[in-house]
Amino acid sequence: MSAPAGRAAAGSAILPPRARAAVFATRAVSAVSRTLRAGSGTVAGGRAGLALDPRLLEHLAAGRQVALVSGTNGKTTTTRLLAVAIEALLGRAASNSTGSNMPTGHVTALVDAPPGAPAVLEVDEGYLPLLVRSLQPAVVVLLNLSRDQLDRTNEVRMVANRWRAALDARAVQTDAEAERRFRGRVVANADDPLVAWAAMTSAAPVWVGAGLSWRSDAVGCPACDGTLMFPSDPGGAWACTCGFARPPLDVWMQDDDVCFADGRRMRVELKLPGRFNRANAAMAAAGAEAFGVEATEALRRMEQVVEVAGRFGTATIDNKPIRLMLAKNPAGWRELLELVSPVGSGSDLARPVVVGINARIADGRDPSWLWDVPFERLAARHVVAAGERCRDLSVRLRYAGVPHETISDPLDAVRSAARSAEPGAEPAVDYVGNYTAFYDLLARAGQAVPGLEELRAGGSSPR
């Protein structure tokens, strides 16, 4: 798989003067922002650059091989895994590693990279069509689509349709349209019908059986509005009476192995926990191969990743190890509950869980989704409800039959939980926050994460 011909031929582009000025402004403002510690500069710098040249992304992408990663859950992790593999085997890559996944963040990531270096970018679901048009990526990795940020009004079905239009390799009417048509390769999660719908009209998509933990947003057939039939087996193939069905897989997971249709099979032992991270790695491996890096080689590199922008890492608070996790919507929670509420062992059950919930703009201002999370599974655990919307959570936990206390400040909540943890337990406490609540705790605990201030702010909410 090589870079799209048009782009590669453009060579290491000499930027037009306006773009060069924009690059200078991006760097200057980013530097200032960092110096002033107002943030890591990822947003402010990108803003300044785009203000001076709205087509800056196109110019910065010229002569580069670009991979985009989008979806509701797993974007940041998959982007990180893919970038690690590509960097190890192709040299330095540009990547928005802190999850600044809108054009401002992409500008900053590209400006920082040497000319011609490959780019691996996480993209917000709503921006994917725009980024596909302006960056002409070689590879687009599509993970999943489910409800997130309810107040944002983007129905997942509509997002799927917009993805499909942007990736469609068929019918081209005019020269201008042909010029902008997507020529890269889509790596798609075939287990998610909405993702399959979006990818199926692209040129030779790579189908990965990455699983689907949340089906409620996918039961309506995107092709005919009928009802999709899902097998009880989580790895089984869905189908509709209209003929729309899960495509045959090119890559799938079996136990701890990642399997390829050509017969390659590899045991993957990630340091990142959970089934969902193995699925992210399988997606990233298929993405790496489409990018020109052999998939099993890529997986070897991914095994070494221990945390992603603070997620899955460990913080030390009051000398106790705190396991850090991020879950921001029902699908993400379903996956994390596999980790947080394992059946069985006594020491796991004794470990307190602190759940931090905010509802700033970056989180979605409506936390009603808490009622789509099966918190009932935490009934045997000691739970502390924290965050700015801890009262919504406490009511949810009451109706889930989960004994809990409510402490708004996430650091105070973790400290209180740590006091009740078993001596010597490791980790002593599980902390699961949604987006800004997660980074709030890291900041309060003095944990260093690049770009932390901006991640926390995430578009400050009206107060």
Residue (369 or 438) nearer to other proteins, CB: 369
Tell me if 121 sits within 8 A of 79, measured CB to CB: yes
Q: Is 157 in the site for other proteins (CB under 8 A)?
A: yes
At which residue do the structure tokens 């599974």 appear? 377
Q: How far is the CB of 131 from other proteins (least distance, A)?
A: 9
Q: Is 452 in the site for other proteins (CB under 8 A)?
A: no
**DSSP assignment, residue 229?**
B
Which listed range, 37-45, 64-72, 265-273, 419-427, lies at the site for other proteins (CB under 8 A)? 37-45
Q: Residue 460, Cβ neighbours under 10 Å: how many?
A: 11
Q: Is 11 in the site for other proteins (CB under 8 A)?
A: no
Q: How far is the CB of 256 from other proteins (least distance, A)?
A: 32
Tell me if 99 sits within 8 A of 76, measured CB to CB: yes
Q: How far is the CB of 402 from other proteins (least distance, A)?
A: 12
Q: How far is the CB of 215 from other proteins (least distance, A)?
A: 8
Which listed range, 64-72, 148-156, 290-298, 306-314, lies at the site for other proteins (CB under 8 A)? 148-156
Please work out, in degrees rounded to the nearest 5, the angle formed at the alpha carbon of residue 316 by the alpha carbons of 310 and 317: 115
Residue from 32, 113, 203, 223 in contact with other proteins (CB under 8 A): 32
Residue 331 to residues 43, 46, 119, 346, 379: CA-CA distances in angstroms? Answer: 28, 31, 28, 27, 19
Tell me if 306 sits within 8 A of 313, measured CB to CB: yes
Tell me if 240 sits within 8 A of 229, measured CB to CB: yes
Find the binding residues for other proteins in span 313-372 (CB under 8 A): 361-362, 365-366, 368-372
Q: Is 254 in the site for other proteins (CB under 8 A)?
A: no
Locate 9 and state its tokens: 């031929």
Residue (135 or 428) nearer to other proteins, CB: 135
Q: Is 101 in the site for other proteins (CB under 8 A)?
A: yes
Per-residue string for binding with other proteins, 61-100, x by CB under 8 A? --------------------------------------xx
Give the interface size with other proteins as a residue count (CB under 8 A): 74
CA 354 to chain centre: 22
Find the binding residues for other proteins in span 383-402 (CB under 8 A): 391-392, 394-396, 398-399
The H or E element spanning position 433 is strand 429-433
Listed in order, strand segments (DSSP E) in 19-80 are 66-70
Q: Is 25 in the site for other proteins (CB under 8 A)?
A: yes
Find the binding residues for other proteins in span 189-248 (CB under 8 A): 215-217, 219-220, 225, 227
Residue from 74, 105, 205, 287 in contact with other proteins (CB under 8 A): 105
Q: Is 440 in the site for other proteins (CB under 8 A)?
A: no
The H or E element spanning position 148 is none
Separation between Cα atoms, residue 187 and residue 437, nearest integer Å: 31
Separation between Cα atoms, residue 204 and residue 215, nearest integer Å: 26
Residue from 201, 406, 416, 420 in contact with other proteins (CB under 8 A): 406
Dihedral pair phi/psi, residue 118, rounded to 5°: -65, 160
Q: Is 151 in the site for other proteins (CB under 8 A)?
A: yes
Q: How far is the CB of 153 from other proteins (least distance, A)?
A: 5
